[in-house]
Amino acid sequence: MKKRMFNDKFKLTDMVIQRRKTMTSDILHEIMAETELVGINENGDFEFRIGSNNKTVTIKPKFKVGEVVAVAQSFKTIYNSTSQIHADLKEYLLENYEGTTPWNNKMYVPADIMPYKIQIEKVKCEKLMDINNEDIIKEGIIKYMTTIIRNDQLESRIEFEIPGVVQRFESGLSAFQYLVEKIFGKGTWEKNPYRIAYEFTLIKNYK
């Protein structure tokens, strides 16, 4: 079983567990700007045409539709979780892993022990800037209604936020752009690379 690591600085692991984030993306930095997506082959791999010639390159998605993937968490995080993860699992982790590398670093945890798993429902590839408003919310951007007083009148407006970020955003797109730049590096948005997006559902957790 594979595992997926979500960014904890922006509380994305928590968002997945809360079922508020249902999509994750890989940025294809290796695909050049002049490369064009031409289709999907019989294996579900994405095929790109390079420039104006007929040379193609194939990119294999990390995950396939129907695949079950573990949500990576450090063992310490699992043990200290306030959610009612099975007591036997917490005891097992404490007895066998306290003080080890995976206790604090989720990069080294075995996937099969993870209490939360997701199942891939859809896979698609598109340019980063082509993301729609629905997918922006699926990526973990929070949309809410706020009320302010303007000229002695109550005024409601929609704002967007990223978990762990104090700044508020006027549009979901600007919030997503901010998140992309922080996770994938400055300048990623302007380069407008292709992204492979995986839509998923949370399918299992111990209680």
90 inside domain? no
83 inside domain? no
Strand order in the sheet with 117-127: 2-4, 68-71, 117-127, 194-204, 23-27
Domain limits for position 69: 2-73+109-204
96 inside domain? no
100 inside domain? no
Summarised one tens digit per residue, pLDDT across range 108-142 is 999 998 999 999 999 999 999 999 999 999 999 99
pLDDT above 60 for 199 = yes
Please give the residue that has the higher pLDDT: either 13 or 204: 13
Q: How many residues does the chain have?
A: 207
Q: Give me the chain's average pLDDT, please.
A: 91
Q: What is the pLDDT of residue 207?
A: 47
Q: What is the pLDDT of residue 156?
A: 81
66 inside domain? yes
Token pair, residue 28, equals: 């294809």
Lowest mean pLDDT among 48-57, 77-86, 146-155: 146-155
Output b/e per residue, 129-154; b: 16+ Cβ within 10 A: eebeeebbbbbbbbeeeeeeeeeeee
Q: What is the pLDDT of residue 205?
A: 63
Over pLDDT 70: what percentage of the chain?
98
Q: What is the pLDDT of residue 155?
A: 78
Q: Give the number of other CB atoms < 10 A from CB of residue 60.
A: 11
Token pair, residue 201, equals: 């559902």
Please give the residue that has the higher pLDDT: either 186 or 149: 186
Summarised one tens digit per residue, pLDDT across range 9-46 is 999 999 999 999 999 999 998 887 778 999 999 999 99
45 inside domain? yes
pLDDT above 70 for 206 = no
Predicted confidence band of residue 154 (pLDDT cuts 50, 70, 90):
confident
25 inside domain? yes
Mean predicted confidence (pLDDT) in 96-109: 94
Can you give the CATH number for the domain in which 40 is found?
2.30.130.30
184 inside domain? yes
- Domains contained in the chain, number: 1
Mean predicted confidence (pLDDT) in 84-98: 85
